[in-house]
Each structure stands twice: as C-alpha cells, then as structure tokens.
Chains A and B, each alone.
Chain A
C-alpha cells in the first residue's frame, strides 16, 4: 500500500524555524517527484514546493521562496521541508503528495499524506 506520513509540525514563534518530514512507503520513492501543499484553517489548497526525483529540479511558491527549502533523501525514502523565518500566515496543515512522474512539472498529485499542522504564534 502506498503511504505518506508527515511529521514535525507544531507550535513555533514568529521568526522561528521548523523542519517537516514525510516518510514514504509502498512504492519506489526515487522514481517520483514529490510536493508540499498547505491549507490554512478554513482556506483552500496552496502549492508550496516541488522537487524532482533526483533533486535536479526544485520549485517554490513565491510566498515561501527564500524562506523554505525542500529536500529529499532517496536512500531513506523521505521528503523534507525546512521552514525558516516563519510568519503567522504560514499557519496551515502541510501535506506531502506524490507526483505522477519523475519530473517536477506537469503532474497530478496522488496520493496525499494525512498532513501535519504548523501553527505560528507568539
């Protein structure tokens, strides 16, 4: 069974940092690009970042570029999101999602993890 399990969420003060992890199982992790998508409370889905299967291509939403860093470890079947300089508006459930292909581009997302909540508040 294909499974994605996020961890690392929690409460952090504005300006602080947090590192999210996504553990993948049930498929050949190194063959797929991966993504982070977030959802603020009561709001819609917002794409955050994508990384290709070999980490050669990385893309960020304008709202997080320069503050967030996506990475992956294919040997550990894991995806990461390092979040620095956090703001109140970064408060959201963060989902990791597998893309449909190896390239981080024209893909659909399936499946999604259950999400991890990040709360930025003083």
Chain B
C-alpha cells in the first residue's frame, strides 16, 4: 500500500517560514491535499490540488509537489498557526485514501 511520510515535528520562530514535507513514491504524479488540525478541533483543509488555497485560507499558506516530495510552506508564521498538519492523497492502485502520519508545528 502507498505510504506518506511526514516529519513528526517542525519548529519555527514567529515571522519565519515553515516547511512541512510529505514524502511518497513518485508523489509528484498524484494530487496532494493538506489539512490543519488544532487541539480539540476537526481538521480544516488548507491546500488542495498541490497548491490551491480554499477561500478563507491566508496567502501565507502555499504548496508544491514534485518528484518524491510534496511541501506545505507557511510564510510569516504566526502563533495561531501552531497545529498538526496532515497530507493526503488518493492511491488509485488500491482504491484507498491515504494520510501522512502528521507533523506537529511548534511556533517558538
């Protein structure tokens, strides 16, 4: 089955740029979606189709996808961005949705 690998944690100072990676075999050939989940809350979509932003998501959130790595980039990080972030793809070979293990973003 298809596996998505994320770093367990990423730390960044306020105002700096955070990059959260999502690794998978030839993930560049798939559409990657990203979710933000704050403690005690349901996940919220922040990026779809690799790099598109839903309405209401700040422009500080962006995404890219190439080769074996997709990346969620958060510019000018704020304290309110502290959360868990998950990547997700559709694996057509198994007809399964797949989530990465999640990355905890800590704002120092």
Contacts and interface: CB of A to CB of B under 8 A. Distances in A.
A95 interface: yes
Contacts of B48: 100, 108, 110
Given A44-B86, A106-B90, A112-B44, A50 B102 contact: no
Nearest to B100: A44
B71 interface: no
A108 B42 contact: no
Contacts of A95: 42-43
Contact-residue size bin, chain B (C-beta under 8 Å from the other chain):
20 to 34
Interface string B28-50: 00010101010000111100110
Interface size class of A (residues with CB under 8 A): 20 to 34
A88 interface: no
A109 B33 contact: yes
Contact of B97 (A35, A62, A114): A35
25 contacts: A37-B99, A44-B84, A44-B86, A44-B99, A44-B100, A45-B88, A46-B99, A47-B88, A47-B99, A50-B97, A59-B97, A62-B1, A95-B43, A97-B43, A105-B92, A106-B31, A106-B90, A107-B97, A108-B33, A108-B45, A108-B88, A109-B33, A110-B48, A110-B54, A112-B43
Interface of A: 35, 37, 44-47, 50, 59, 61-62, 95, 97, 100, 105-115
